[in-house]
Every structure is written in structure tokens, then in C-alpha cells.
Amino acid sequence: MNAGEVRALLARHGLRPRRDLGQNFLVSDSLAARMAERAGVGPGDAVIEIGAGLGVLTRALAARARQVVAFEVDAGLVRALRAEGALPAHVELVHADALDVDLAALAAGLRPPVRVVANLPYAVSSPLLRSLLAARHALTDWTVLVQREVAARIAAAPGGRDYGSLAVLHALCVRSQRVGQLRPGCFHPAPKVVSTALRLTPRPDSPLVCSSNRDELLSVERVARAAFATRRKLLLNCLRASDVVPPDAKLAELLAELGIDPRARAESLAPERFLALARALERPGA
């Protein structure tokens, strides 16, 4: 499929790309095949695809995988894909918003290994990335196309301008690898940004405690988001202004106990420091 064929397919069904859904359709079968390959998809895999679009990537995944469950939020695209009969029999097309799907429960119900591959809409990439972190224990890995700037924020190291809560959470949970970069012309309509393909693999040595009734990622997330709420403020002041610290907490003393300079700013703290701080704040009498 190429850009002309994508436009023709949309026209056949009276459809146009929806800006409110951040629709930018991949227009190259060869690029889709390359993405499926770089995602590590093999014949024994079940794949969850977020955003089937016009099925270009869906078909590339189906050519390599045992099973594909493809989600698409746009009812018009779902109707078009079904009317065209363009998807193989081992693809299950689901009309649903992936943000409303319990990805962990879905993955747990599929025969492993289970991978996620997605061309994430720019407008909702952050919540979907967070949902994938929550489902990490049920997934082998996930490969996502995101805006180049978002990829930089995920992989950022402490001290850089891109370092923030997104980097902290990902560093504690996964290893990230850039596996490709796509120029705007690879999509219809062409976005004004470059896209990066990231492959994210859960860390077997993650320091986070995660059980059926507790996931430390939630605690770290609250602390990290509070710490980065105002980047130019001192860490101490950001935390005091938030709801993650008890009103009577001796915060300066707690930071000193953890070896954290109370005058530091959030961007200077390594991810493990945020974990230590989250644990300390949950201690009785902190």
C-alpha cells in the first residue's frame, strides 16, 4: 500500500483522517514489515496492536505472528476494514479505545509470549505508555511509534532537560532501545514531526516491588510527578506544596537521611533515589 492507495481507500468509504484522534496512517507495506521484524515478532507470538488504522501494520504483524488482537477506536475505520476483507482470519479486530482496555488482563488471557506493537496517536501517547508499564508483567515487550521528542523523554538521563517523571518510571521498569526512525512522508497525512520506534523490554532486575495487591510504581509516580511539577523549584519546596507529603513530615531531615540534598532539584535525582524517597514517605511517622 502507498499514499495514493490509502487516500483511495479512505475515499471509498467516505472517510477522512481525524485530527481529534491524531490519525496519521502508515503508508508503506515495506516499512510496516520492517517494524514488525524489529519488534521481534515471530510465529509463536500473540500480538496486541493498539490502533489498527487502515490495517497496514496489522497485516505485517499477521504475516509473522500466531495471533493478532487489533484495537481501533474509530468506528468508520473498523467498518472499512471489515468491508474490505483486508485482514487475515487470525486477526481479531476490536472496536474499542485502548485506554479503556485492561491490557494486563487481556495479555494474561492470551497464550504467551505476548507482545504489543503500536503506532501511538501523539495526543494520547503518555497515558497509553503508562498503561503499558502497568501491564509489564504480562508482556514480553512492546514496540511503539512515538513522536521523537517523546522518545527522548522516555530515555533521558538525570541532569538533562528531557529528564522527568516519564524517564524515571521507564528507567525503573524497562530497558529501551531505539529500533527505527520514520520521516513525516511515511504517513498520511504527513505529521510535522519525526517519529521514533522504541522497543521496551521489562527489566528482570527491576527494583520495584510488585505483587497482586501492591505496585510500587504507583508510589514512585506520585512522588516523581510532584517533584517535577515546577522544574525550577527546589525539590523540598515542590514536595511540600504537594499532597504526597504529610503536613507534619520532617521533610528536610528525611531527605538528609536518604543522602539527598534538600537544595537539589528533581532533575538531579537518579530514578533509584525517587524509589527510596517514595518508600521513606510511606513509613509510619515519616
Predicted pLDDT at 122: 81
pLDDT at 92: 98
Confidence of residue 116 (pLDDT cuts 50, 70, 90): very high
Residue 212's pLDDT band (cuts 50, 70, 90): low
**83-to-18, 55, 188 alpha-carbon distances in Å:** 20, 12, 21
Phi/psi for 138 (5° steps) reads -100, 0
- What does the alpha-carbon distance between residue 84 and residue 133 come to, in Å, rounded to a whole number? 34
> Which range (12-26, 54-68, 207-221) has the least confidence?
207-221
Q: Is 99 within 8 Å of 128 (Cβ atoms)?
A: yes
Residue 248: pLDDT band by 50, 70, 90 thresholds?
low
N-terminal to C-terminal alpha carbon distance within the chain? 59
The superfamily CATH assigns to domain 210-281 is: rRNA adenine dimethylase, C-terminal domain (1.10.8.100)
pLDDT of 285 reads 57
3-202: CATH architecture: 3-Layer(aba) Sandwich (3.40)
- Given a cut of 90, whether residue 286 has pLDDT beyond it is no
The secondary structure of residue 113, as a DSSP letter, is P
* Percent of the chain scoring above 70 in pLDDT: 98
pLDDT digits (tens, 9 = 90+) for 121-135: 887 899 999 999 999
* Three cell numbers written together for 211: 505483587
Helical spans, DSSP H, in the chain: 3-12, 29-38, 56-62, 75-84, 103-108, 125-134, 148-155, 165-173, 216-227, 235-240, 251-257, 271-281
Instruction: Please compute the mean of the pLDDT values over residues 168-172 and round it to a whole number.
Output: 98
Those residues with Cβ within 8 angstroms of residue 55's Cβ, 6 or more apart along the chain or in another chain:
70, 81, 84, 86, 87
Average predicted confidence (pLDDT) for the chain: 93
Mean pLDDT of 47-62: 97
* Predicted confidence band of residue 144 (pLDDT cuts 50, 70, 90): very high
Give the pLDDT of residue 282: 85
b/e 20-41 (16+ beta carbons within 10 angstroms → b) = ebbbbbbbbbebbbbbbebbbb
- Give the domain ranges of the chain: 3-202, 210-281
pTM: 0.93
